Amino acid sequence: MNKTIQLQDLGNRDYKETWDYQEVLFKEILDIKIKNRREDAGLETPNYFLLVEHPHVFTLGKSGDFDNLLVSEKELAAKNATFYKINRGGDITYHGPGQIVGYPILDLDNFFTDIHKYLRFLEEMVILTLAEYGLKAERSSGETGVWFDVGTPFARKICALGVRASRWVTMHGFAFNVNADLGYFDLMIPCGIKDKAVTSLNVELGKATVDEAEVKEKLLKHFTTLFEAEIHQKTEA
């Protein structure tokens, strides 16, 4: 079992370019697993964790409803935004500047073979990070992601999750609003959930901006602890 994870901070990167790169890493791990099964090769599978910030983009999961996008693609283009239908679970999600997006591409055979536990650990990573800022976040029953004031008229989401897994290899991941422009969320029904708001860390703290590098450090610290992993950083993809 290889619990070493190669971290790559991609900076600001086009969504489609990053998606293609995820697919390359995902296939690399799957190919090794298939070789191991067919040839009893005993090869170690790698694990990756990509951090990225995307230009304005809306993505729709394979089970999502296109009607949850409230504007035309022409109107999106006028707002410098793009749209993709993709192969993760979940409904519609927005990515953009001021948002920390994380794509763990893990062989869960190296950790635990439980997708439910995997999703809960990603949520817990964000919940623990927010606690360091004095904020009490929580889960919402039947809805993935991280929320505030669940069960009240003030319920609002700060982090969305959507993953794909095959042969226990994961891709896609989470989108954590840190200094996000919340106006873009008005162009859709976030995750297909009506009548619930979206928020950002800077809004919750009453600050103009929050140090994103500091937030990343906290996320990685909690991720490492939860997954009992060792992270090695690579500077370039």
Q: What is the DSSP letter of 125?
A: H
Backbone Cα Rg of the chain? 17
Q: What is the DSSP letter of 46?
A: P
Catalytically annotated residue among 100, 191, 201, 219: 191
Q: What is the DSSP letter of 108?
A: G
Dihedral sign (CA 226, 230, 235, 237): negative
Question: Can 191 be counted among the known catalytic residues?
Answer: yes
**What does the DSSP assignment read for 167-220?**
TTEEEEEEEEESS--GGGGGGB-GGG-TT-EE--HHHHHT-S---HHHHHHHHH
Q: Which residues are catalytic?
A: 191
